Amino acid sequence: MGVENNGKKHVVIIGGGFAGINVIKKLDKKKFTITLIDRHNFHSFPPLFYQIASSGLDTGSISFPFRREIRHMRHVRFHMGEVKKVDTTAKTVTTQFETISYDYLVIAAGTTNNFFGMDELRDKVYTLKSVAEAIRLRNEILDRLERASIEKNPERKKQLLSFVVIGAGPTGVEVAGAIGEMKRYIIPREYPEIDKNDLKILIVEGADRVLRTMSEDASRHAREYLGHLMVDVKLNTSMLGYDNNMVKLANGEEVYCETLIWTAGIVGEPISGFEDSVYAKGGRFKVDSCNRVYGHDDIFALGDIAYLESPKYPRGYPQLAQVAIQQARCLCENLNKGEFNKTFEYNDKGSMATVGRNRAVADLHKLHMYGRPAWVTWMFIHLISILGMRNKLTVLINWIWAYCTYSTSLRLLVRPTKYPYRHHWDLAKE
């Protein structure tokens, strides 16, 4: 059963990430009814996907069911589905299951992995853009450790433990650091059959430093921390291809790797029904300063999927959670007032990344932090950003336990079984 409109405007939101959730919270329930569409039935916290991959947290700790979040919001309904088409003339959104009418459409669908023309990598590499992808990588890491622990051939053992991370942004640095912590602390304690020096972790980055969007001090300290965790870094080179377990680099080198982790770029997924002119580079929607998609006064794009240039950000605003949250709040203020007289201005609250236990960097306006103070700040900021008090407590307990014991009970290699065939799986791919 749908939401009773009662003369209210109907807002359809595509995507329940940071932007979508904040629109739901901030829109005036006396003026609007809302339908949220998402391919999953839960909101998740992408900054901590790497901790799922490294067995630091379980999926339930950073995921929150949409229906639980909106259970007291009588003006909001959730519909699970994958958007296949938008009819801007009829003002409808079509998923594989249904067609929904809207008065206003908010596109907050986020982005997917960008392989820079090397589409064959899609079936060869491990990515970290969803909870499912994080679980897949966790299973691969644990499988590698278990297989290496019983492997008798020394060379084959090293091959099983070869990891390469493409991209030295926050995600790349964090996942490499997490594997480095396993190498330094977990393997000697729990995998006595493995010499920790047999596990090799390499980060490949095309820029001249890691964390290139942060300050030079942050980059320098992050590089130092990676060294503490025995992670190798190769800068000023990009990847050209990956075949037969060989990573081909632009400088002519080839590196053997059986687990390639891709964190190098993101791109928007085009939605059928829009003209090509609304898209900017990277598959993002061109928007004005009020986040209206060009040529459409009743359609808005927020977060990673939106492209808006400014004098300070001539290449568009950074694709960060804070940008999405602030854009959502600005849009809701305009919609609630019924007039678009407030333009979006990004208030940069800084950026941070963690490389491991007591090892983090943070650029907070003019304050640059590193080491344990930055690590504690990073934990606090991420903890308060997670939805649900239960989730906050669970994450905090896991972090305290891991800090005190250097261990976790979450290294469970659980592979999904195959369900009986479902016809709607094919509909989702169409």
Reported as a single tens digit per residue, the pLDDT across 143-157 is: 999 999 999 999 999
In whole angstroms, what is the distance from residue 2 CA to residue 166 CA? 45
Mark whether 133 and 225 lie in a shared domain: yes
Q: Over 70: is that where the pLDDT of 428 sits?
A: no
333 and 342 Cβ atoms separated by less than 8 Å: yes
Give the pLDDT band (50/70/90) at residue 3.
low
Mark whether 136 and 257 lie in a shared domain: yes
In whole angstroms, what is the distance from residue 92 CA to residue 107 CA? 13
Residue 430 covered by a domain = no
Domain count within the chain: 2
Residue 429 covered by a domain = no
- Confidence at residue 411, expressed as pLDDT on a 0 to 100 scale: 85
Q: Over 70: is that where the pLDDT of 42 sits?
A: yes
Residue 410 covered by a domain = no
Q: Over 80: is that where the pLDDT of 80 sits?
A: yes
Give the residue numbers spanning the domain of 356: 124-266+350-405
- Confidence at residue 425, expressed as pLDDT on a 0 to 100 scale: 63
Summarize pLDDT for 283-327 with one digit per residue, the tens.
999 999 999 999 999 999 999 999 999 999 998 999 999 999 999
Tokens of 150: 């019983």
Domain boundary among 337, 367, 396: 337
CATH number of the domain residue 286 falls in: 3.50.50.60
Q: How far is residue 43 from each of residues 24, 169, 207, measured CA to CA in Å?
A: 12, 23, 33
In whole angstroms, what is the distance from residue 244 CA to residue 346 CA? 45
User: Mean of the pLDDT values across residues 15-22?
Assistant: 96
In whole angstroms, what is the distance from residue 116 CA to residue 421 CA? 33
Name the residue type at position 141: I
- Confidence at residue 1, expressed as pLDDT on a 0 to 100 scale: 40
Residue 30 covered by a domain = yes
Higher pLDDT, 364 or 11: 11
Positive or negative torsion for Cα 404, 165, 112, 303: positive
- What H or E segment, with its residue span, contains residue 352? strand 351-356
Coil, helix or strand for 279? strand
Summarize pLDDT for 319-349 with one digit per residue, the tens.
999 999 999 999 999 999 999 999 999 999 8
Give the pLDDT band (50/70/90) at residue 208.
very high
In whole angstroms, what is the distance from residue 216 CA to residue 213 CA? 9
Burial of 338 (0-12, 13-18, 19+ CB in 10 A): exposed
Mark whether 97 and 13 lie in a shared domain: yes
Q: Over 60: is that where the pLDDT of 259 sits?
A: yes
Tokens of 156: 């084959």
Mark whether 304 and 366 lie in a shared domain: no
User: Average pLDDT of the chain?
Assistant: 92
In whole angstroms, what is the distance from residue 67 CA to residue 398 CA? 25
- Confidence at residue 36, expressed as pLDDT on a 0 to 100 scale: 98
Mark whether 130 and 228 lie in a shared domain: yes
- Confidence at residue 376, expressed as pLDDT on a 0 to 100 scale: 94
- Confidence at residue 180, expressed as pLDDT on a 0 to 100 scale: 96
Residue 416 covered by a domain = no
